[in-house]
Structure 1
Amino acid sequence: MGISIWQLLIVLGIVILLFGTKKLRNIGSDLGGAIRGFKKSMNDEDTKPADQDSLEDKDQTAAYRAPAEEKPRDKTTG
């Protein structure tokens, strides 16, 4: 009931005749690049929230400390 190897070979032959090997090679490389980009973005999303949280904590700490570090100017010394 399934597709036999001969049927797959016939379909592959027809596809090669229609598109040509150069076009199929380009499509394959484009598809591979798209998959790599998708995987990279998924891995970047996994690491970004942790990095963004630490950056936000540093920003909040810096914003909190900034007013305390400012020293009032002494009007007598100029």
Structure 2
Amino acid sequence: MGSLSIWHWIIVLVIVSLVFGTKKLRNIGGDLGGAVKGFKDGMKEVNSLPEAIKAEAGDAQREDAAATRMS
């Protein structure tokens, strides 16, 4: 009784598509996919940085965190 069956999810999907429309849902899905792709690309760039730059970025983040805690 606590979990939702496939029929519940289908009904929810139909109601959501009726409320928002399929075009708007498609746009939302495309925007979400683009955001995820951008995040992954950003993570790849960070992982490809030389170690010295990573250390400098870590120092800056620690300084920002310390300044935030003091405020």
Q: TM-score range by the shorter chain?
A: 0.5 to 0.7
For residues 11-58 of structure 1, give each alpha carbon's deviation from its aligned partner in whole angstroms, at most 9, with x where no partner exists.
0000000000000000000000000000000000001234858xxxxx
CA root-mean-square deviation = 1.8
Residue matched to 1:22: 23
User: Mind listing any 5+ residue stretches in structure 2 that lack a counterpart?
Assistant: 55-71
What secondary structure sits across from 2:50 in the alignment?
A: helix
Q: TM (normalized to structure 1)?
A: 0.62
Gaps of 5+ in 1: 54-78
- Greater C-alpha radius of gyration: 1
Query: How many residue pairs are counted as aligned between the two chains?
Result: 53
Name segments (4+ residues, structure 1) moved above 4 Å: 50-53
Greater share of residues in helix:
2
Tell me the secondary structure at the aligned position of residue 31 of structure 2. helix
Calculate percent identity across the aligned residue pairs.
55
Q: Distance in 1 between matches of 2:3 and 2:50?
A: 46
Give the TM-score of the pair, scaled to structure 2.
Answer: 0.67
For residues 7 and 36 of structure 2, the distance between their equivalents in structure 1, rounded to whole angstroms, comes to 29
